[in-house]
Amino acid sequence: MREMICSERHITILKQFVSTQLALEDRPRIEWFMQDGARPHRTEKVFRFLDEYFGNRVIALDRPKVTGTGMDCPPYSPDLTP
């Protein structure tokens, strides 16, 4: 059975990702975070969480519309999607 991803579950996954990245001291810190445009990824709660850890270094669909800051995800960008 497939589990549906809601914004709360997505935040739980992001917390695990961020804590893992912060624990890896020998690796450079992530400077930018980019996520896809799935509906649960574009909620105000998710954007607030991302702001807390990445500040204005988030590229996400609808982020400027929801938060008033940040960079919108450019569709089909060859620079960002090899």
In a domain, 60, yes or no: yes
Could you tell me if residue 20 is inside a domain?
Answer: no
Q: What mean pLDDT is predicted for residues 70-77?
A: 68
The per-residue pLDDT for range 11-69, each reduced to its tens digit, is 898 899 888 877 776 666 667 788 877 787 888 888 888 888 888 888 888 887 888 87
Query: What confidence category does residue 10 fall into, taking pLDDT thresholds of 50, 70 and 90?
Result: confident
In a domain, 52, yes or no: yes
Could you list the residue range(s) of the whole structural domain that residue 47 is in? 30-81
Residue 75 confidence (pLDDT): 65
Residue 34's SS3 state is strand
Instruction: Report if residue 10 sits inside a domain.
Output: no
pLDDT for res 35: 81
Q: How many folded domains does the chain comprise?
A: 1
Cross-strand pairs, 59:
34, 71
Instruction: Say if 56 falls within a structural domain.
Output: yes
DSSP string for 11-25: HHHHHHHHHHHHH-T
Please check whether residue 34 lies inside any domain of the structure.
Answer: yes
- Does residue 59 form part of some domain? yes
Question: Is 81's pLDDT higher than 60?
Answer: no
